[in-house]
Amino acid sequence: DVVLFDKTGTLTAGRPTVTAVEPAPGQDADQVLAWAAAAESGSEHPLAKSIVAAAVAKGLAVPAASDFTSSPAVGVSATVAGATVRVGGPRLLTEQHATPLPIGERWADEGAIILHVLRGDQVVGALRLADEIRPESRQAVEALHRLGVQVGMITGDAEAVAATVAAELGIDHVIAGVRPEDKAGRVAELQRQGRTVAMVGD
């Protein structure tokens, strides 16, 4: 009676694109994008690939990175040109006790995916990304509703991004900011409430 969908690459196309780069005061937008692309170059995530593609499309020189680490639903970290560069969402900012750039609020209202770029412990910029909803997602949600099945979405993305996609598709339940390893636990919670749950995604 409940179908839960992953968001990125399931309900959405999984081919996000960088739509804006906002440097912090005193920083250069191209430099911020190049640092982010360097840090993300070791990642297979669709967001990482889109950041690298954006830097390549602009013809930027992406510096080499080492010591790459990735933390699901938090972000990535790598050593770039002798400094630690981190790229990630709200949880990364919380962990690093960093303040988001003011533009993030407007982008969040637009339902965009927002990643901040830190160099050392300083926020040097923010990236705005968009991932389009697959047309067949609407059809699937409508068909399930016609069958009397509730539709949920579970995602590592921030609440604002998840809420925008959910509103557009008419999704009943939104579970946002969830690490991949915690998704099974959320399914079990629904089952404990007496629900029969199907999970669609990776």
Q: Give me the active site residues, please.
A: 6
Percent of the chain that is helix, strand, coil (3-state, to 5): 40, 30, 30
| 36 close to 51: Cβ distance less than 8 angstroms | yes
Q: Which residue has the tokens 């409430």?
A: 193
Encoded tokens for 113: 């995916």
| 196 close to 1: Cβ distance less than 8 angstroms | yes
Residue of 88, 127, 130, 94 lying closest to 111 (CA atoms):
130
